[in-house]
Amino acid sequence: MIDPGDARIVQEGLDRLALALEAILVTHHHADHIGGIATLIARHAVAVYGPDDPRIGSISHKLGDGDRVSLLDGALDLSVMAVPGHTETHIAYLGDGILFPGDTLFSAGCGRLLGGTAAQLHASLARLAQLPEQTRVYPTHEYTLANLAFARAAEPQNGRRDAWQARVEHERAAGLPSLPTTIGIENEINPFLRVDTPAIVAALQARSPGTESNSVARFTALRAWKDVF
């Protein structure tokens, strides 16, 4: 289980699917990601893996960039990536062609700056963008439609994004999640991975002249725009 904010929902899922809890993985310290841990470990007594952050008192295995986590008797091997920005100690998990980025990367968006810096988050996203295009991405939150509305404002003409939005609207209308996405899709539709794209540079220049001088400045301006969108 990754980032269990609500123990009740997790336990209901375990019971419904007849699954045993093997371990808990944490990406960062926010309450909606750790709120269910105490109840779950009291019932299941499993290991808790996460960043070295005193705000997460239940971590039994502290992790940093380049560490590895082996679970399910070695059937699942995950590498740890430090991806600061949303928070200063945020980590992600990567393995078997799957990325769990927490709140660093969303479909068509990224997390707010809640402890880290814009330069850190820009660098973290650039690192994730270099992963293989087929890597499946499971962000912690379903924010896709709201993010796509901003993506359209930042880059009005993007046919690949429009096709993704049509698919997401269909899935959400049917009560289905829009996730996973992939790194390849995000590189084509996510404005926070596309700050050097001429259309986004032009949009930023029109909105805030002088903020488009380099990639970090553009990212900073784009994130600030999204904050008030």
Residue ranges of the domains in the chain?
64-227
CA distances from 104 to 24, 33, 38, 123, 129 (A): 19, 13, 24, 11, 12
Q: What is the pLDDT of residue 146?
A: 96
Contact of 116 with 146, CB cutoff 8 Å: no
Identified catalytic residue from 3, 6, 73, 86:
86
Q: Which residues, in sequence order, are CB contacts of 221 under 8 Å at separation 6+?
A: 204, 207, 208, 211, 212
Confidence of residue 127 (pLDDT cuts 50, 70, 90): very high
Active-site residue flag, 28: yes
Which secondary structure element, helix H or strand E, spans residue 149, and what is its range? helix 144-154
Contact of 94 with 25, CB cutoff 8 Å: no
Active-site residue flag, 141: yes
Of the CA atoms within 13 Å of residue 21, those in its CB half-sphere come to 24
Q: What is the pLDDT of residue 207?
A: 87
Please state the separation of Cα 49 from the chain's center in Å. Answer: 17
pLDDT, tens only, 11-46: 999 999 999 999 999 999 999 999 999 999 999 999
Which secondary structure element, helix H or strand E, spans residue 100, and what is its range? strand 98-100
Q: pLDDT over 90 for what percent of the chain?
A: 93
pLDDT, tens only, 56-104: 989 999 999 999 999 998 899 999 999 999 999 999 999 999 999 999 9
Active-site residue flag, 103: yes
Confidence of residue 212 (pLDDT cuts 50, 70, 90): low
Q: How far apart are the first and last CA of the chain?
A: 32
Identified catalytic residue from 33, 53, 90, 122:
33
Identified catalytic residue from 3, 29, 30, 90:
30
pLDDT, tens only, 160-211: 999 999 999 999 999 999 999 999 999 999 999 999 999 999 999 998 787 6
pTM above 0.75, yes or no: yes
- Mean pLDDT for 125-141 is 98
Q: What is the pLDDT of residue 69?
A: 97
Active-site residue flag, 86: yes
- Four-way CATH pick for 64-227: 3.30.428.10, 3.40.50.10860, 3.40.50.720, 3.60.15.10: 3.60.15.10
